[in-house]
Amino acid sequence: MSLSERIVEELSDRIHSREGLPEPFSIASVARLFDVSASPVRTAFDQLVEEGLLVRDATGRLTPNPDRKAKRRVQRSEPREPALEVRIREFIIRRSLAGDDSFLREEATAEMFRVSRTVLRHWLGKLAGQGFIEHVPRRGWRSRLFLPQDLEHYSEVREALELMALRTVRAQLDAEFLQEMLDGNQPAADGTPQLDNRLHAYWIDLSGNHYIRDFFERHGLFHAAIFDLATTETAAVEEMAEQHRLILQALIEKNWKKVETVLTKHIRSQIPRVERMLEEIRAEGK
């Protein structure tokens, strides 16, 4: 099951139960809720609109429609091709990771994705707004250059800000919600690892600190997409879910020292996976 499909299922359940939906309900707030980039959330929203679980209100904003009967979901025997936006986003990220900040050749890129240049520009414009690519007037589109030290620098700031947020909200943590997230990181009945990433966004939002939230809104989407790309193997998902369980259990037990130790390890453990992916991508370009 893809990330966007997991988001569809989770939001479908929340819409019908009328519980656990972020306020305001938007792509940005849902992305923070699941600790993912905006791309899989957009794909999930498109699916929920098609199913009638999201509708537009009088102002044109998407809003949940809890009275709509949920669509019965069938397990797919064949994996569905990722949405166009997801494929373009991955292409742009790989260019960034490869150290390629040259201007994109629009015509060749449109042909590669079998779309018109107008359609391609639409998606590139969205990705530019999310910080994945830069639009230079009269020059075109240029990938965001990703330097090896960027990963270390981002992780250092992320770690410091998450710890700061967590320290300020200790008394506000909801034990029932912590248990819900703990359950969401338990393996499925068939042993398949399950990952519930909401814990990070939970204490970031709960902190109410505008500057902490601003950092993750500005830089989190791009880096979250890179981490998602590097965390595809089952073993990596299992490792992250186990770390989430340790963090959440320690939070429930109010073992603050253990929480901070495991959270730091969790954030740092993602660096080697991205570094390996970075080496592979750059080796392909030689």
Q: Up-side HSE of residue 125: CA atoms within 13 Å toward CB?
A: 7
Token couple for 250: 């320690």
Q: What is the CATH number of domain 148-284?
A: 1.20.120.530
Average the pLDDT over 250-255 and give the result.
98
139 pLDDT exceeds 70?
yes
Quick one: pLDDT band at residue 170, thresholds 50, 70, 90? very high
CATH of 3-64, one of 3.40.50.300, 1.10.10.10, 3.40.367.20, 2.40.340.10: 1.10.10.10
SS3 for 62? strand
Specify the CATH number for 84-143; select among 3.40.50.720, 1.10.10.10, 3.40.720.10, 1.10.340.30: 1.10.10.10
Backbone dihedral angles phi then psi of residue 265, each to the nearest 5 degrees:
-60, -40
Answer whether 0.75 is exceeded by the pTM: no
CATH topology agreement for domains 3-64 and 148-284: no
- Listed by start position, the domains of the chain span 3-64, 84-143, 148-284
The tens digit of pLDDT for each residue in 221-251 reads 888 888 888 887 888 889 999 999 999 999 9
| Number of neighbouring beta carbons within 10 Å of residue 69 | 9
d(CA 237, CA 185): 10
CA 92 – CA 109 distance, rounded (Å): 11
Q: Which two tokens stand for residue 133?
A: 């690519």
User: Are 262 and 252 within 8 A, CB to CB?
Assistant: no
pLDDT of 155 strictly over 80: yes
Look at residue 154 and give its three-state secondary structure. helix
- How far is residue 11 from each of residues 29, 75, 85, 224, measured CA to CA in Å? 12, 18, 20, 20
Dist CA 151 CA 187 (whole Å): 29
